[in-house]
Amino acid sequence: RLGGKVGPQSGSPLDVEAEVLAVAEDVRQQWFGRGEPTLPLGKSAAIRVGGVDVVIGSERHQVFSRHVFEGHGIDLEQKKVIVVKSTQHFANAYASLGRIIYCDTPGTVTMDFSTLPYRNLKRPIWPLDDVPVVPRPLWPPSWSRADE
């Protein structure tokens, strides 16, 4: 079973048949694609599902660096399409591989907060409603040198 662990809005787990390509316990990735790889994936594996190579890990992290794939023997230079589950933190490590296309999926990790089924939310609130982030009377603060 893959996925379906974040919340019901993100969908149910997928029951798949997969070929195991690699198994590891020591793969680490770089924070934000820089420095030494120190962020562990936990127990992880590369699997092939319907011709698509997928890396799964026991630790929930966004993808920050290429180590996620390369640590499982996947050569990203040979891939036509690479998909990572990350909001923005991957860009530094992957930009040189080609064009980046962002997509937003439904569910609890969406970037469109207006699609979430809030029940106890005091409105109005930014970014759901057209309100200023910082009320104008509070900015600039009275101690600011902006008036000088």
- What does the block give as tokens for 108? 């609890």
Q: Name the 3-class secondary structure at 57.
A: strand
Dihedral sign computed on CA atoms, order 33, 36, 40, 46: positive
Q: pTM for the complete prediction?
A: 0.77
Mean of the per-residue pLDDT values of the chain: 87
In this structure, which amino acid lies at residue 83?
V
pLDDT confidence tier of residue 47, bands split at 50, 70 and 90: very high
Tens of pLDDT, residues 86-131: 888 899 899 999 999 988 888 888 888 888 888 899 988 888 888 8
Q: Is the pLDDT of residue 16 over 80?
A: yes
